[in-house]
Each structure stands twice: as structure tokens, then as C-alpha cells.
Amino acid sequence: MPTAKNAQWEGWLTLEKTCTEYARDYNVVWIYTGPIYGEYKRPFAPSRKVPKPIAFYKIVISPGENNGVDVLAFRMPHKAIPRDVDVSEYLVTVRDIENETVLDFLRELPDDLENLLETSVWELSRLGRIQGRIDLSTTVGGPRL
């Protein structure tokens, strides 16, 4: 994944720090991170050179308060982004990322819950906490992913 070795990755570093703070707040998080190749949904064909990603994604999932689940999905373009970026500008839905990567992230959940979580864009508050929450206590017996 991108590193902070040059100015191009300063925005990504800000996102990494945001996720670190989020993990400290919640103690338990699952984070998916990877490249988005655009038109090359499966870029590793034997006869093809590996293309440069057009963007990178990060999906953060954690058990929320009151038997809820918090889900954040970010998509950052593969370009220079300043360190002082507001990472909430890059919030997208999990479904957006799935459509660009042909991956299925929350397939273990019941379809109605999976659809709700994958199509919602959650907002960050000042401290990186999620404002929207979904109560899973009556749906799947608690925050299990």
C-alpha cells in the first residue's frame, strides 16, 4: 500500500492516522485496504503487465456502541493529496468499492443487513467517530462479522 515516503502519499498518511485513532477508540476493528485498477478489474492475467492503480480503498468495520456496527469506506485517487486533507471528502459506500474491485466484502451477513451497510455513507464527527449506527442486536445477535 502507499507509504509516506513522498508528498504524493501525505493524504493517505492522514487517512492512516484517522484509522489508527478510530482503532484506539473502538479497540476492535477490521480493515480492508487495496488498489482499484479501473478498467482492469482483474489486472493479474498472465499476459498482461500490472497496471498502475487509479485509486486505493480502505474499509473500516468495528463493533459499535449499543450492539451496533460502524462501517467507513474511503476511496482516494492515486494522485498527490495534501496532508491537511479532510478525509471525509473521500467517504464512499462499500458498494462503490465493490463495483470497482469486483470484491464482495460483507457477504457473510444477511442480505438485507449487507445491503444497508454497503449502501450507506457514514459521516465522521470531529473526533473520527461515526454518527450513524445500525443496531444489530435484533438482526444477527450482535456485532458479528
Over the stretch 50-82, which tens digit does the pLDDT of each residue have?
A: 677 889 999 998 876 666 777 889 999 988 888
Tell me the angle at which helices 111-118 and 94-101 cross, rounded to the nearest 10 degrees. 90
Q: How buried is residue 39: exposed, middle or buried, by Cβ count under 10 Å (0-12/13-18/19+)?
A: exposed
Average pLDDT over residues 8-27: 85
Q: What is the DSSP letter of 134?
A: E
Average pLDDT over residues 87-91: 91
Model confidence at 46, pLDDT cuts 50, 70, 90, reads low
Would you say residue 108 has pLDDT above 90? no
Place of cell 503487465: 49
The predicted pLDDT at position 42 comes to: 60
Q: What number does CATH give the domain 7-135? A: 3.40.570.10
The predicted pLDDT at position 6 comes to: 57
**Is the pTM of the predicted complex or chain greater than 0.95?**
no
Which residues on neighbouring strands pair with residue 84, listed in sequence order?
Answer: none
Average pLDDT over residues 127-136: 39
The predicted pLDDT at position 51 comes to: 74
